[in-house]
Amino acid sequence: MEPLSADTPLEVERIWLDEIRKRGPDFQLQRMIELTNLCRQTAREAVRRAHPDASEAERDEILLRELYGDEVDARKVVELRRQLGFYDPQP
């Protein structure tokens, strides 16, 4: 078995994976959700820092375009979110 991480000894990695498996699928799913949320928050923060003057809707459009590579669909999603009241009304 090849190690998953270059900086972790194979035996330590094996113990770590065994412990995760012992905790069962509920723990694994919860951990996956937590890590996914962390990735989303990190990506949103990166867009906010790169575009500090952009509105929340503009930042969402930028993020969606970066994630999915489709400018038209990103605009459609943001427009639908506007219609559904996801964003504060613009002055």
**What secondary structure, in 3-state letters, does 4-68 show?**
CCCCCCHHHHHHHHHHHHHHHHHHHHHHHHHHHHHHHHHHHHHHHHHCCCCCHHHHHHHHHHHHH
Tens digit of pLDDT for each residue in 2-39? 778 888 899 999 999 999 999 999 999 999 999 999 99
Would you say 81 and 63 are in contact if contact means Cβ atoms under 8 Å apart?
A: no
Tens digit of pLDDT for each residue in 32-91? 999 999 999 999 999 999 999 999 999 999 999 999 888 999 999 999 999 999 998 765
